[in-house]
Amino acid sequence: MPRRKLKLQHEVEELSILDVDGQVDTALEPALNHDELLRIYRAMVLTRELDDRMLKMQRQGRIGTFAPCRGQEATQIGYIYPMQKEDWVVPSYRAPGAQIWRGWHLEQILLFWNGYEEGARTPEGVNDLPVAIPVGSHPILAAGIGMGMKLQGTKQVVLTAFGDGSTSEGDVLEAFNFAGVYQAPVVFVCENNQYAISLPRAKQTRAETIAQKALAFGYDGIKVDGNDVLAMIVVTTEAVNKARRGDGPTLIEAFTYRMQMHTTADDPKKYRSDEEVKEWEKKCPLLRFEKYLINKKAADEKLLQEIHQDVIDEVQAGLERFEKCCVPQPDKLFDYTYAQLTPELQAQKEEFLAILAQRDSRNRKH
């Protein structure tokens, strides 16, 4: 048998619509009216404001460790925008804006990062899974949900988001494969923020893009400017429509940058330069969208200011609700793994409650 070259049919597309100066490629611009554009803008501002407030609260000891998402607002609002209410989302832990868009309550995000189960309970009428912290453990759930949708012929779509580091996990590759084999209606969004904690993307994979990994599984991958909300909306809308038509999955690589630390527990100065961060500040997804809105006369400075103030008030109200329901209940840790506690756990719970009671009575005496 001769040695010969097999010609592969696929290519990887790359898309960007809105540049850093807010200039738009009108041939590619999605047809969104002013109200829709402002709704998208508000959601991005809300994501940013919540992130900033949470960072301050964490530094004040008012919430636990969390994973900031500054810089990734266009990615998450862009991929969530085309999803319908009846669709399913299997979220990343770095996308509170997408969760709030879907109907999660702001205070739930804070409860989650403070260790409360209430923060992981999907609100009534929302078809989402809670956030998964084990890296790369959730795309396989999305593949399974998509396979179920396919078998039941429901015309729903499932979208899952995860980081670039997650694509090195075996489970994620299994998810890519099963979704392809079943032609399941799954949209995979890799939020390539270029770091997995301190590990840069170049050390994560030798592949030139993350998007091209889809080709090995027999479907399309596309690389998108993840700081360009319009490009994110266009690409995700195409992937969602394709999935709904029954034409199978897509892998979207959103090329973006994590502007803050991985979580509030690490110091990014130890593994990347200030110059690199400064370069990405110029590509801020919010600034470029503001310029676009003004150029397009969808908003003026005054309206943008009003939206900001409105968002500050909404976040403040959410924080106040959170602080009201944030009453420590340490014994709850026994309540959510088993429907019925094993005898050993029941004994441990009783012992733990007795220790708490002793501590309380000691504190009362002092």
Ligand X SMILES: Cc1ncc(C[n+]2csc(CCOP(=O)(O)OP(=O)(O)O)c2C)c(N)n1
What is the pattern of x (binds ligand X, CB under 6 A) and - over residues 62-101? --------------------------------x-------
Q: Applying CB under 6 A, what is the total number of residues that bind ligand X?
A: 16
Q: Which of 201, 258, 288, 292 is catalytic?
A: 258
Longest CA–CA separation in the chain, Å: 89
Residue tagged active-site, from 271, 336, 338, 359: 271
Can you tell me which of 91, 130, 163, 285 binds ligand X, judged by CB under 6 A? 163
Binding residue for ligand X, selected from 135, 215, 216, 303, defined by CB under 6 A: 135
Contact of 224 with 15, CB cutoff 8 Å: yes
Token digits for 175? 């998810």
Site string for ligand X, 243-282 (x = CB under 6 A): ---------------x---x--------------------
How far apart are the C-alpha atoms of 150 and 141, rounded to whole Å?
Answer: 14
Looking at the Cβ atoms of 133 and 345, the one nearer to ligand X is: 133
| Per-position x/- string for 291-310, each x denoting binding to ligand X as judged by CB under 6 A, each - no binding | --------------------
What string marks each residue from 115 to 134 as x (binds ligand X by CB under 6 A) or -? ------------------xx
CA distance 218 to 183: 10
Among 82, 165, 285, 318, binds ligand X (CB under 6 A): 165
Stretch that binds ligand X, among 26-34, 35-43, 157-165, 212-220 (CB under 6 A): 157-165
| Distance, C-alpha 184 to centroid of its chain | 21
Report the candidate in 344, 331, 357, 338 with the shortest Cα–Cα distance to residue 115.
Answer: 331
258 given a catalytic annotation: yes
Contact present, 194 and 258 (Cβ < 8 Å): yes
The residue behind tokens 């009362």 is: 364
Residues, the chain: 366
- Exactly one of 195, 217, 255, 289 binds ligand X (CB under 6 A); which one? 195
Q: How far is the CB of 273 from ligand X (least distance, A)?
A: 18
The label of the residue with tokens 């103030």 reads 309
Taking CB positions, which residue lies at the least distance from ligand X? 163
Nearest by Cα to 162 from 135, 200, 130: 135
CB under 6 A: which stretch of 110-118, 138-146, 190-198, 231-239 binds ligand X? 190-198
271 is catalytic: yes
- Strand, coil or helix: 1: coil
| C-alpha closest to that of 81 among 26, 135, 30 | 30
Residue 166 in contact with ligand X, rule: CB under 6 A? yes
H-assigned helices in the chain: 34-59, 73-80, 96-102, 106-113, 139-152, 170-181, 229-245, 274-281, 285-295, 301-325, 343-365
Q: Least distance in Å: CB of 16 to ligand X?
A: 21
Which residues are at the interface with ligand X (CB under 6 A)? 94, 133-135, 162-166, 191, 193, 195-197, 258, 262
> Which residues are part of the catalytic machinery?
258, 262, 271
